[in-house]
């Protein structure tokens, strides 16, 4: 049995380039769900799923309201909606107020995912220029989940990983090239 059932990933400034390094090495037989919040503009349509789908062996799509979270799939938070995971492992979309001045917010996804998956969740904080994700990563740590943070020295914007490390001292610090292998090891049956 694998260590985790899902991985949540949060990124902001420099995030597209980071995701384009992390997702391609992931195996097409990866047995976990990968759920991503990337800070985007408030426009209602996003090309992020299409861009990442071109470089990823797993199917990639925007998460939909009440859609079940399935293993072996990459889900992207749609623009201008907070993405949550319900206790029955389905998605919920919210237009609640912005968190850290953004919607979707990483903290919102991480906190809800921590409640649903508890110790069977990995949280990954990547490059970004604000503190979104730090409180959510702490929620994952508090439920015995696995916490991974991009080495701030390798990030386009180190503020987000630094904030996450300040909040979760025991988080594992990795380079972008190390993260896919770590996720595949955690997902190994």
Which entry of 12, 38, 49, 112 is annotated as an active-site residue? 12
The number of beta carbons lying within 10 Å of the beta carbon of residue 84 is: 21
12 is catalytic: yes
H/E segment holding residue 49: helix 48-55
Q: Do residues 116 and 87 lie in contact, with contact meaning Cβ atoms separated by under 8 Å?
A: yes
Decide: helix, strand or coil at residue 146: strand
Which entry of 5, 62, 107, 132 is annotated as an active-site residue? 132
88 is catalytic: no
Which entry of 5, 38, 39, 82 is annotated as an active-site residue? 39
With a CB cutoff of 8 Å and minimum separation 6, the contacts of 47 are none
107 is catalytic: no
Residues that are catalytic: 12, 39, 132
């Amino acid at each position: 049995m694998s260590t985790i059932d899902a991985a949540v990933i949060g990124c902001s400034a420099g995030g597209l380039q980071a995701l384009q390094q992390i997702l391609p090495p992931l195996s097409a037989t990866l047995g976990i769900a990968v759920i991503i919040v990337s800070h985007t503009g408030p426009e209602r349509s996003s090309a992020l799923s299409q861009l990442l789908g071109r470089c990823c062996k797993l199917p990639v799509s925007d998460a939909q309201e009440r859609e079940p979270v399935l293993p072996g799939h990459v889900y992207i938070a749609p623009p201008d909606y907070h993405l949550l995971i319900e206790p029955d492992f389905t998605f919920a979309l919210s237009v609640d107020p912005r968190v850290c001045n953004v919607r979707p917010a990483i903290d919102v996804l991480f906190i809800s995912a921590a409640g649903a998956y508890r110790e069977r969740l990995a949280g990954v904080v990547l490059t970004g220029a604000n503190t979104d994700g730090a409180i959510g990563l702490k929620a994952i740590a508090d439920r015995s989940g696995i916490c991974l943070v991009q080495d701030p020295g390798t990030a386009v914007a180190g503020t987000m990983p630094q904030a996450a490390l300040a909040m979760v001292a025991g988080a594992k610090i990795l380079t972008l090239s190390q993260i896919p292998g770590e996720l595949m090891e955690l997902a190994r049956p």
